[in-house]
């Protein structure tokens, strides 16, 4: 087997292959995109992303710098491989690429901090490598980000033809510490589950739909979310007296991400998923296999995680959360 390949994300030549997860799944150590694995069968689809590959490259670099490399594969392959969370390129970008310029600058700064070996260290960054570290799509954007971080007093920078030499200032390190401390929703440990509650007058197989939904919540959603390091919140499990929508909205705002399950096709689930996306929160779409054929057309392209049993749901969802959101702040429980 070859020892190098052309990087499918950045087209970098002679990128070392660190190892093979399977005979068709290399792990690449790309100087631009960081460490990531790629399902060989999925490679043609990555190529089709063409002009959007720079976003994927920036996110794989970000994940790699945090010691959480991803395995790029079809969204339907949720099994993952040891140490690699499995995710499609599209979903990775949708859930992990910064939503605003401010967030881009913060993450670029955090990347430089990760690359700094010690206080005062000079980080040499090649021209092409700076694109992914700065979440930039070309030299112009990379230069702009470097300048913005410099103007804010967070880094000192000297540009040269081959790229940049960067160093974090004391203000830069303070800002990184601040980001790690606060992080806003980034550090929330709550995951909001938007789902059907079922009814005791309706049956699915030999039980009520209410029991079906409770089992799915406890054994599937809650269990997967806990294993991924978060706390699951389902609004009907909470005591309240006034307007339910105020509670729903408040709980979504307070959450790190939302899991929207379309089993039973409740209008509330569509509403909650839309509201969360409007806030810029990651939303993971799921649906029971028997209900999937009739989901609303507007969400059909959202790469639903399809589950046929509660165990499958727990496994797939845990992997999807780790890949797209990252391991959460609550004590690591290995699944
Ligand atoms: Zn690359």
Q: How far apart are CA 85 and CA 61, in angstroms?
A: 14
Q: How far apart are CA 289 and CA 275, in angstroms?
A: 25
Reduced to 3 states (helix: H, G, I; strand: E, B; else coil), residue 302 is coil
CA-CA-CA-CA torsion sign (227, 230, 231, 235)? negative
* Gap from CA of 33 to ligand 1 centroid (Å): 4
* Gap from CA of 268 to ligand 1 centroid (Å): 41
How confident is the model at residue 30, as a pLDDT?
Answer: 96
Q: How far apart are CA 112 and CA 256, in angstroms?
A: 24
* Gap from CA of 8 to ligand 1 centroid (Å): 7
* Gap from CA of 89 to ligand 1 centroid (Å): 13
* Gap from CA of 36 to ligand 1 centroid (Å): 9
* Gap from CA of 54 to ligand 1 centroid (Å): 9
Beta-bridge mates of residue 28: 17, 36
In the Cβ-directed half-sphere of 200, how many Cα atoms lie within 13 Å? Answer: 0
* Gap from CA of 62 to ligand 1 centroid (Å): 12
* Gap from CA of 53 to ligand 1 centroid (Å): 9
* Gap from CA of 248 to ligand 1 centroid (Å): 41
* Gap from CA of 31 to ligand 1 centroid (Å): 7
Under a CB-based contact definition with an 8 Å cutoff, are residues 57 and 48 in contact? no
Q: How far apart are CA 127 and CA 114, in angstroms?
A: 18
* Gap from CA of 164 to ligand 1 centroid (Å): 18
Under a CB-based contact definition with an 8 Å cutoff, are residues 88 and 74 in contact? yes
* Gap from CA of 119 to ligand 1 centroid (Å): 28
* Gap from CA of 280 to ligand 1 centroid (Å): 27
pLDDT in single tens digits along all 335 residues of the chain: 679 999 999 999 999 999 998 888 999 999 999 999 998 888 888 888 887 899 999 999 998 887 778 888 875 555 555 667 778 888 888 878 988 999 999 999 999 999 998 888 999 999 999 999 999 999 999 999 999 999 999 999 987 778 899 999 999 999 998 887 665 456 678 999 999 988 888 888 889 999 999 999 999 999 999 999 999 988 875 455 556 777 788 888 888 999 999 998 888 898 899 888 887 788 999 999 888 876 665 665 667 888 999 999 999 999 899 888 888 877 754 43
Burial 99-133 (b: 16+ CB within 10 A, else e): eeeeebbbbbbbbbbbbbeeeeeebebebbbbbbb
In the Cβ-directed half-sphere of 54, how many Cα atoms lie within 13 Å? Answer: 15
Token pair recorded at residue 169? 């200032």
Under a CB-based contact definition with an 8 Å cutoff, are residues 196 and 269 in contact? yes
Domains within the chain, CATH numbers bracketed: 4-96 (no CATH), 101-182 (1.10.10.10), 185-324 (3.40.50.450)
Query: Which among 44, 135, 140, 37 is positioned nearest to 79, based on CA atoms?
Result: 37
* Gap from CA of 32 to ligand 1 centroid (Å): 5
* Gap from CA of 4 to ligand 1 centroid (Å): 12
* Gap from CA of 9 to ligand 1 centroid (Å): 5
* Gap from CA of 144 to ligand 1 centroid (Å): 22
Q: How far apart are CA 146 and CA 155, in angstroms?
A: 8
pTM greater than the 0.75 cutoff: no
């Amino acid at each position: 087997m070859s020892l190098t390949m052309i990087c499918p994300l950045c087209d970098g030549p002679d990128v070392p292959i660190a190892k093979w997860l399977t005979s068709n799944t290399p792990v690449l150590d790309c100087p631009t995109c960081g460490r990531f694995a790629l399902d060989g069968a999925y490679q043609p689809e990555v190529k089709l992303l063409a002009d959007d590959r720079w976003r994927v490259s920036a996110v794989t670099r970000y994940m790699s710098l945090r010691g959480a490399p991803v395995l790029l594969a079809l969204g339907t392959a949720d099994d993952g491989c040891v140490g690699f969370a499995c995710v499609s390129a599209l979903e990775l970008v949708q859930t992990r690429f910064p939503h605003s310029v401010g967030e881009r600058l913060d993450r670029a700064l955090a990347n430089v901090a990760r690359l700094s070996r010690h206080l005062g260290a000079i980080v040499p960054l090649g021209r092409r490598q700076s694109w992914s570290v700065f979440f930039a799509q070309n030299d112009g954007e990379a230069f702009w980000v470097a300048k913005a971080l410099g103007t804010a007093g967070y880094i000192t920078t000297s540009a040269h033809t081959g790229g940049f030499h960067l160093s974090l200032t004391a203000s830069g390190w303070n800002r990184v510490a601040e980001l790690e401390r606060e992080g806003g929703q980034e550090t929330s440990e709550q995951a909001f589950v938007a789902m059907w509650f079922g009814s005791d007058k309706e049956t699915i197989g030999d039980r009520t739909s209410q029991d079906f939904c409770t089992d799915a919540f406890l054994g599937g959603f809650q269990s997967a979310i806990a294993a991924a390091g978060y706390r699951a919140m389902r609004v009907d499990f909470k005591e309240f007296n006034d307007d339910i929508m105020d509670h729903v909205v408040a709980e979504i705002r307070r959450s790190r991400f939302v899991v929207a399950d379309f089993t039973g096709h409740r209008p509330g689930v569509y509403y909650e998923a839309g509201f969360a996306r409007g806030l810029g929160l990651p939303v993971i779409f799921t649906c029971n296999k028997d209900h999937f054929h009739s989901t609303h057309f507007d969400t059909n392209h959202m790469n639903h995680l399809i589950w046929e049993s509660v165990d499958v749901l727990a496994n797939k969802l845990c992997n999807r959360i780790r890949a797209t959101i990252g391991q959460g702040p609550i004590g690591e429980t290995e699944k």
